[in-house]
Structure 1
């Protein structure tokens, strides 16, 4: 471990990833929940649209996996530049994750959501690739996120297509 990493408390290191992940989750909920009954319920949805109750537990697990994954990469002591780049990709995809709810639900705009979720998915794949170079378990923790966002991208596209 380098000197700078030794000086960082493990609790502070955990907070570096946990706080942004919780913030992304809360920001998404603030845009989503007020618009479920008032707007989303009235949209035409594809036959494979899951029931609303499934989203909260799925996202809870995904956010836990994201935080754990980023924490594993953050605590790596070698290859500082690679770690910084990998974490930059992680936080960029997390920002797009939070923004998606505001674009789709907040603005009532499936097209804006689609324009966000496609680069979000690509950033998730890039993050998995970079995390894989540093910590295989961290990369594997993001695979469920990639699968869910791929599904959500298809769902977002179909909602946009059916309601356009």
Structure 2
């Protein structure tokens, strides 16, 4: 397939935009409310989150581009895109629920839904393009870790 730089940039920009919106909801609480919470010993320093999430959003965008390249051969392309968009919305909603609304219990249930959506997304993408699916592995691992972290923060608070 011929490389399409405009489509590539758009596919990377979409998850990065979701991340930027999520960062907006997060920023208001990181240095105020979040510091007051009891956290488990394995809670990473705040400086880790932005570069990790940025990297994950870029991997998501590359993955989406690889799937987009095969859009003409995918019989259920709208469904495939819907799954991708659902996990992006769930990703954004977690930041809003946890950091903006301060609803730890709801955030825990939401991140479990996010993790399931990410796994489903990875599987769907893998069936279309193996590399696209495999690029979701770091995202699955990070959201799994974030789920455990959210659970522990919920229990401790």
TM-score normalised over the length of structure 1:
0.88
In structure 2, which of residues 122, 145, 153 is the aligned counterpart of residue 151 of structure 1? 145
Counterpart CA distance in 1 for 2:21 and 2:71 is: 31
Q: Name the structure 1 match of 2:19.
A: 25
- Aligned equivalents of 2:111, 2:12: Cα separation in 1: 22
Residue 55 of structure 1: aligned partner = 49
- Supply the distance in 1 between the matched residues of 2:136 and 2:81 (Cα, whole angstroms): 13
Matches of 1:143 and 1:106, distance apart in 2: 28
Contact 2:12 / 2:57 at 8 angstroms: preserved in 1? no
In 1, distance between residues paired with 2:97 and 2:17?
Answer: 17
Q: Give yes or no for contact 1:76–1:83 (8 Å, CA) kept in 2.
A: no
Distance in 2 separating the partners of 1:76 and 1:122 = 24
Please point out which of 17, 40, 48 is paired with 1:46: 40
Partner residue, 1:5: none
Counterpart Cα distance in 1 of 2:51 and 2:97:
22
Say what the alpha-carbon RMSD is for the aligned residues: 1.9
From 55, 66, 78, the equivalent of 2:60 is 66
Higher-Rg structure is 1
Q: How does 1:2-151 map to 2 (within 5 A)?
A: 10-14=4-8, 16-151=10-145
Aligned residues: 157
Distance 2:9 2:78 in 1: 16
Query: TM-score under structure 2 normalisation?
Result: 0.92
| Residues in 1 aligned to 2:10 and 2:52: alpha-carbon distance in whole angstroms | 23
